[in-house]
Amino acid sequence: MNATHESAITALNNYVFPNDLHVHWSMMIALYPYITGIVAGAFIVSSLYHVFKVKSLKPISRFSLLFALAFLTCATLPLLLHLGRPERNFNIMLTPNPSSAMAGFGYIYMLYGVVLLLEVLFIYRPTLVHLREKTKGLMKMIYRALTFDSTNLSPKSLELDRKIIAFLAAIGIPMACVLHGYVGFIFGGIKANPTWATPLMPVIFLLSACVSGVAGIILIYILIRVFTNKPVDTDCVRTCTNYLAGFFILDFVFEMLEVLSHSYLRTAHYHAVDELLSGPLYNSFWIGQVGILSVVPLLLLGWLCLTWVNDRLFKIGASIVSFMLLLQVMFMRWNVVIGGQLISKSARGFTEFHPEWLHKEGILTAIILMCAPLVVLFVISRIFPFWMEEMDEG
């Protein structure tokens, strides 16, 4: 941690409530909104094509759904690792407390998972039927199960599929927004914490979710295409980058609005948050999240979206911007979740957070957890072909 933080802790009048010394929600709880955010954002990319008919996004419309599915399968892992009694996790669905913002998670997550999976299965149905005919043994069994043993590809059944897909994609949008806006409300609903208790929290979480989802899609799409020696559809990447710029401008405006409006109101709330942002969080918020990872990407996005950049340069630029924005959202999660807990409820001091390497909720676990969705994505790619041209061959 930085020198400002050290001096804050050793300061004469730094008083932290005895039970506040420990940061209870650590890296796992910072990762959880990060992963669900990527899920929600990736789903929105797919919906842009399936619902809003943005034709240039066609090459990644299926990939983004699978990308969302891969991250969704890992979204509960950080929560289970965090729980003191993970074996009781089903209590949250068996005996939910209706007044708790957290109690709905199990239901929302499950419903969303069902919608996402159904949408994938219906969109891929013709492809899966073809693949079922072409494969043998275990793969044939898998395809048979995934198509519910139906090989009907008559125009009438495909038309029904199309209607079901449109319906699922349409209800998927509000559900993706609820899934992530709701995660923001889990924090925004805590009045005891001055950095969390703001009605803007769900909005900021949702917009940053869109940013991380779109950025993740752009980066992984370009990386996979380049490493598998396939052409990158620059028209598609350009459209994605435009959406990324749009979402990020909104996201950044709301993040700054939260800080600036409070700094103008100058309430007791502001004084607590100001000391946090100029003290322990100065490096990770002002320099990291705002300076390097927001202002620089904004300039880069301006260059990519407003000027004419050739295809090769655009691919590199878009990858860099996407990578930086993925980091920006991770910094934002860290600053909100862990940064917010550094303020003691005594309003007289800050505690410290030292992540451990080999802890149940430590750095190593976090790294493994962030790699897990990519492994799942690889497994999924063995079953569902990502790209249109592979399906045409099929």
Within the chain, strands assigned E span none
Q: Which of 43, 49, 67, 105 binds other proteins (CB under 8 A)?
A: 105
SS3 41: helix
The yes or no reply on residue 365 touching other proteins (CB under 8 A) is no
CB under 8 A: which stretch of 8-16, 109-117, 278-286, 368-376 binds other proteins? Answer: 8-16
One residue of 17, 52, 357, 378 binding other proteins per CB under 8 A: 17
Count other Cβ atoms within 10 Å, centred on residue 90.
Answer: 9
Query: Which part of the chain contacts other proteins (CB under 8 A), choosing from 68-76, 86-94, 172-180, 257-265?
Result: 86-94
- Give one DSSP letter per residue of 50-112, joined into a string: HTT--GGGHHHHHHHHHHHHHHHHHTTHHHHHH-SSGGGTTHHHHS--TT-TTTTHHHHHHHH
**Quick one: residue 97, left, alpha or beta (phi over 0 = left, psi -120 to 50 = alpha)?**
beta
Select 3 or 192, whichever has its Cβ closest to other proteins.
192
Return the number of the residue (86 or 231) whose C-beta is nearest other proteins. 86
Residue 10 is a binding residue for other proteins (CB under 8 A): no
Close Cβ partners of 20 (under 8 Å, ≥ 6 residues apart): 344, 345, 346, 351
Q: Report in angstroms how near the CB of residue 337 gets to other proteins at its nearest.
A: 10
Q: Which of 4, 7, 91, 278 is in the footprint of other proteins by CB under 8 A?
A: 91
3-state secondary structure of 124: helix
Binding other proteins (rule: CB under 8 A), the pick from 101, 118, 177, 383 is 101
What would the x/- binding string for other proteins be over residues 165 to 184, using CB under 8 A?
A: --------------------
Complex with other proteins: residue 138 or 268, whichever CB lies closer: 268
Token pair for residue 181?
Answer: 């806006």
Bridge partners of residue 15, in order along the sequence:
348
Confirm or reject binding of residue 348 to other proteins (CB under 8 A): yes
Taking CB under 8 A as the rule, does residue 90 contact other proteins? Answer: yes
Write the Ramachandran bin of 344: left for phi over 0, alpha for psi from -120 to 50, otherwise beta: beta
Of 49 and 196, the one with the shorter C-beta distance to other proteins is 196
350 phi/psi in degrees, rounded to 5 = -125, 145
* Residue 94 within binding range of other proteins, rule CB under 8 A: yes
Interface with other proteins (CB under 8 A), residue from 4, 7, 52, 88: 88
- The pattern of x and - marking residues 18 through 57 that bind other proteins according to CB under 8 A reads xxxxx-xx--------------------------------
DSSP string, 136-162: -HHHHHHHHHHTTT-----HHHHHHHH
Write the CA distances from 188 to 101, 181, 184, 202, 315, integer angstroms: 10, 10, 6, 7, 37
Instruction: Tell me whether residue 201 or residue 214 sits nearer to other proteins (CB atom).
Output: 201
CA dist 246 and 257 (Å) reads 17
Q: Is 126 in the site for other proteins (CB under 8 A)?
A: no
Q: Which of 82, 180, 315, 333 binds other proteins (CB under 8 A)?
A: 82
Is residue 130 at the binding interface for other proteins, with CB under 8 A as the rule?
Answer: no
Q: Which residues bind other proteins (CB under 8 A)?
A: 12-13, 15, 17-22, 24-25, 82-86, 88-92, 94-97, 99-103, 105, 186, 189-193, 341, 344-348
